[in-house]
């Protein structure tokens, strides 16, 4: 009897420690391939980039991974409460890899390798373009 109770407690502890992708994540930092393709920006380009980023406002981009394999990417526009744009997607998470799936055929359209997945952080990059990297923080 003691061994069954011990086994059940170990299973509960193991399940609690297992990391899950499901939840709401806020993008804190993202790197795109554009910066590496064109090299160092000129002084004018850096100034223009700074002006454009200040106009975008401080509204967060979020990605929601649902437990059923569906997800949604949201971002807001300045002065609006509701998300201005929502992109729904399907995904599959397996062995440190996130596969984005086509909605109709369920074929893999994009693959992301997970570098780090903890209870609070998620870091992943595109398998085909390693310069495309995302760092996220769990919000819920």
Average pLDDT over residues 104-130: 92
The CATH number linked to 118 is: 2.40.128.270
Q: What is the pTM of this model?
A: 0.68
Specify the range with the lowest mean pLDDT, choosing from 25-34, 47-56, 66-75. 47-56
Specify the range with the lowest mean pLDDT, choosing from 7-16, 81-90, 107-116. 7-16
pLDDT reported for residue 4: 47
In a domain, 1, yes or no: no
**Cβ pair 104, 89 in contact under 8 A:** no
pLDDT, averaged across the chain:
78
Domain, as residue range, for 55: 21-138
Q: What are phi and psi of 33, to 5 degrees?
A: -75, -15
pLDDT reported for residue 60: 75
| Of 61, 59, 52, 54, residue with least CA distance to 77 | 59
In a domain, 73, yes or no: yes
Rounded CA separation 129/112 (Å): 9
In a domain, 6, yes or no: no
Number of domains in the chain: 1
In a domain, 8, yes or no: no
């Amino acid at each position: 009897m003691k061994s069954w109770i011990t086994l059940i407690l170990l299973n509960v502890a193991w399940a609690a420690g297992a990391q899950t992708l499901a939840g709401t994540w806020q993008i804190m930092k993202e790197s795109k391939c554009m910066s590496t393709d064109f090299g160092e920006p000129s002084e004018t380009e850096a100034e223009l980039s700074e002006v454009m980023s200040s106009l975008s406002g401080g509204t967060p981009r979020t990605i929601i991974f649902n437990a059923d394999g569906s997800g949604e990417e949201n971002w807001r526009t300045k002065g609006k409460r509701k998300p201005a744009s929502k992109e729904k997607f399907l995904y599959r998470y397996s062995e440190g890899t996130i596969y984005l799936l086509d909605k109709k055929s369920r074929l893999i359209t994009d693959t992301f390798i997970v570098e780090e997945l903890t209870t609070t952080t998620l870091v992943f990059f595109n398998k085909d373009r390693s310069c495309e990297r995302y760092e996220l923080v769990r919000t819920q």
